[in-house]
């Protein structure tokens, strides 16, 4: 593992390129996202289980409640496997909690060693998360474009922890942390460049149209006493390029039919006058 200053610098440089790509994509008139093979080709997504995830009074729970999120209802635990499993939530590669009504994804657990696919068949986490969210929203009659918050629980990656130490200074189990970073702050980019968050930038970029043209408004770093760090990303709606600069001028067939109808009625009036 690299030293913290080097990690901080490396994370910042790499994610600035990704973040700039996201800003370019948000301003592009392209209608089509970067293609990736279907999650159904090599992965299993068992039925979701209705289960609340966040406790009232927790820092993450309080932050989401302030954003209008119901902590008790509409939460579903979901899993991704490489093969069918008797227990959907044992040996899962990823466990997420979805709330399509309030537009929230919580990344609960990641274990890439459970991905048994050959490297050529593996999907990036960003592709898996987007497609899984899309499938879930369709099944629940939710809005894929309604995503407003993305949280990462139990941050324990060593490189991410080193970047956090560089930003926050030394912390111990008894400390409570609640800090917010926005795009103008250098630490915002350092956090986005960590292993826990750079996949989020990739998802928002490569699935920009599919996810509904979302930008990152802020990152909250949260830690309660005797607990690991949590991240909460607040997303904001960017202007939708297709409404502003359509890439293809499509004929309005309804308008054409209306014109034809008006022409026929005008013709009948002229016939009566004659």
Does the structure show a pLDDT above 60 at 159? yes
pLDDT (mean) for 116-125: 90
For 133-168, the three-class secondary structure string (H helix, E strand, C coil) is: HHHHHHHCCCCHHHCCEEEEEEECCHHHHHHHHHHH
Cβ-contact 197, 220 below 8 angstroms: no
Mean of pLDDT over the chain: 83
Confidence of residue 241 (pLDDT cuts 50, 70, 90): low
Q: How far is CA 35 from CA 113, 116, 123, 205, in A?
A: 25, 22, 11, 12
pLDDT at residue number 60: 95
Structure tokens at 2: 């690299």
Q: How far apart are CA 143 and CA 157, in angstroms?
A: 31
Question: Across 64-68, 87-91, 267-271, which has the greatest mean pLDDT?
Answer: 64-68
Question: Across 61-65, 86-90, 139-143, which has the greatest mean pLDDT?
Answer: 61-65
Question: Where are the domains positioned within the chain?
Answer: 8-26+62-241
pLDDT (mean) for 33-60: 86
Does the structure show a pLDDT above 70 at 227? yes
DSSP 197-245: THHHHHHHHHTHHHHTSEEEEEEEEEE-TTS-EEEEEEEEEPP-HHHHS
Does the structure show a pLDDT above 60 at 56? yes
Q: Which helix (H) or strand (E) holds 128?
A: helix 125-139
When mean pLDDT is compared across 12-16, 22-26, 50-54, 140-144, the lowest value belongs to: 12-16
pLDDT (mean) for 73-90: 87
Does the structure show a pLDDT above 90 at 233? yes
pLDDT at residue number 220: 97
Q: How far apart are CA 231 and CA 130, in angstroms?
A: 18
pLDDT at residue number 243: 54
Does the structure show a pLDDT above 60 at 242? no
pLDDT at residue number 11: 65
> Residue written as tokens 């227990």?
87
Q: How many CA atoms lie within 13 A of 103 on its CB side?
A: 17
Does the structure show a pLDDT above 60 at 267? no
Confidence of residue 202 (pLDDT cuts 50, 70, 90): very high
Query: Rounded to two decimals, what is the model's pTM?
Result: 0.83
Does the structure show a pLDDT above 70 at 79? yes
Confidence of residue 150 (pLDDT cuts 50, 70, 90): very high
Does the structure show a pLDDT above 90 at 102? yes
């Amino acid at each position: 593992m690299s030293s913290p200053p080097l990690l901080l610098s490396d994370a910042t440089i790499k994610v600035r390129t990704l973040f700039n790509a996201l800003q370019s994509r948000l301003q592009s008139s392209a209608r089509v996202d970067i293609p990736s093979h279907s999650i159904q080709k090599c992965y299993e997504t068992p039925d979701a289980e209705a289960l609340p995830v966040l406790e009232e009074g927790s820092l993450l729970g309080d932050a989401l409640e302030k954003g209008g999120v119901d902590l008790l209802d509409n939460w579903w635990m979901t899993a991704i496997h490489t093969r069918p499993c008797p227990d959907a939530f044992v040996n899962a590669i990823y466990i997420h909690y979805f709330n399509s009504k309030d537009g929230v994804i919580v990344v609960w657990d990641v274990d890439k060693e459970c991905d048994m696919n050959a490297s050529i068949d593996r999907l990036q986490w960003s592709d898996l998360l987007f497609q899984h969210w899309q499938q879930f929203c369709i099944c629940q009659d939710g809005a894929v474009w309604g995503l407003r918050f993305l949280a990462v629980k139990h941050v324990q990656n060593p490189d991410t922890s080193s970047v956090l130490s560089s930003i926050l200074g030394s912390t111990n189990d008894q400390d409570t942390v609640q800090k917010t970073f926005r795009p103008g702050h250098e630490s915002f980019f350092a956090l986005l460049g960590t292993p826990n968050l750079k996949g989020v930038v990739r998802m928002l970029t490569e699935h920009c149209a599919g996810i509904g043209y979302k930008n990152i408004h802020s990152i909250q770093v949260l830690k309660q006493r005797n607990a690991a760090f949590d991240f909460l990303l607040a997303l904001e709606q960017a202007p939708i390029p297709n409404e502003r600069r359509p890439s293809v001028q499509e004929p309005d067939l309804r308008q054409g039919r209306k014109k034809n109808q008006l022409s026929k009625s005008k013709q009948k009036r002229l016939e009566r006058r004659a």
